[in-house]
Amino acid sequence: MLLQGKKAVIFGLANNRSIAYGIARAFKDNGAEIALTWPSEAIKKRVDPLAEELGAAFTMPCDVTSDAEIASAAQTVKEQWGTVDILVHAVAFANREDLQGRYIDTSRDGFALALNISAYSLVALAKAFEPLYSPEASVITLTYYGGEKVITNYNVMGVAKAALEASVRYLAYDLGQKGVRINAISAGPIKTLAASGIGGFGKILSHIEKHSPLRRNVTIENVGDTALYLASHLAAGQTGGILYVDSGYNTSGTQLGDA
């Protein structure tokens, strides 16, 4: 029970196939008390049964594009728990038309939307919850290799993930002064609701199976276990970093076959 007695707030759980669900399950199975958020009534209808399944202490609304809702979520956590030990940021969004074709065709509004929801929201949440962090609290966010290298059709989301990863490093310096850690998990492609909007996603999955060192795709359980590590005392000396959970694909260069 690595997280016995710990309190975790998870932003971005959409369904039982999402990476956030894998993280929530790992946390719950290891003794953590969890709270979940939802950005709209439509998502709330999906979150409520999952919250019941996971035994969540409470759920609350939070549209991360709204500073008022972020502040309200922090106030709710303060009233319910007083402090928080773990904050998980599993939030990302870009318009579907910006996740296909050429990056150069990204609109100004589409760029601003993707960066606001997928990158700035981490900064906003980290600050809003700053007064509530317990000693040695852990903040975890989710990124992807497309923030470092060009991935077909990832486009503006890759730029957003690059901004997110830079934010992790700067936030690590700010939060570290109070003993709070922040890290990112770079997960390999997984069939989630968010991934469904990326053009040619099935081909990306097939490519990973063929070319990653482990010759397989990863699961939400794999990512959940890594988040469990980062949230626990086992990662007490780790902050500002990116942990890859991608079957080793990030280590691969040009592949010429098995011969």
Q: Which positions are annotated as active-site residues?
A: 144, 154
Strand order in the sheet with 181-187: 58-61, 33-38, 7-11, 84-89, 133-143, 181-187, 242-245
Give the closest residue to 214 by CA, choosing from 247, 188, 186: 247
- Please give the Cα distance from 42 to 35 (Å, whole number): 18
Give the closest residue to 240 by CA, choosing from 179, 172, 176, 187: 172
Tokens 């070319």 correspond to what residue? 211
